[in-house]
Amino acid sequence: MHYILFYEYVADVAERREPHRAAHLSLLRELHEQGKLVMAGAYTDPLDGAALVFTDRAAAESFVTDDPYIANGIVSQHRIREWNVIVG
């Protein structure tokens, strides 16, 4: 079982995320190295959200608590969905 964290960004995300991007990416890399994050990335054209795949719900919830994007109002909404992977 995996858990997908869906982010919806504010309209001016490209400008607003820049001061917080390094800390956000550092946290993602740390979780990936620990085996808690499978993959993550932002949507493109338009840049209006992101999807992050975690190995367990606790890791996804902890990320939401610690993510500078959440703390600084760059994410307008988020939700975590359980994902039953069939292949892969």
Question: For the chain, which residues make up each domain, given as ranges?
Answer: 2-83
Q: Which CATH architecture has domain 2-83?
A: 2-Layer Sandwich (3.30)
Closest CA to 54 of 65, 64, 39: 39
Per-position pLDDT tens, the chain of length 88: 999 999 999 999 999 999 999 999 999 999 999 999 999 999 999 999 999 999 999 999 999 999 999 999 999 999 999 999 999 8
The torsion region of residue 32 among left (phi > 0), alpha (psi -120 to 50) and beta comes to alpha
- Close Cβ partners of 40 (under 8 Å, ≥ 6 residues apart): 28, 32, 50, 51, 52, 53
Distance CA 62, CA 12 (A): 25
Provide the residue type at 7 as one letter. Answer: Y
| pTM, entire model | 0.95
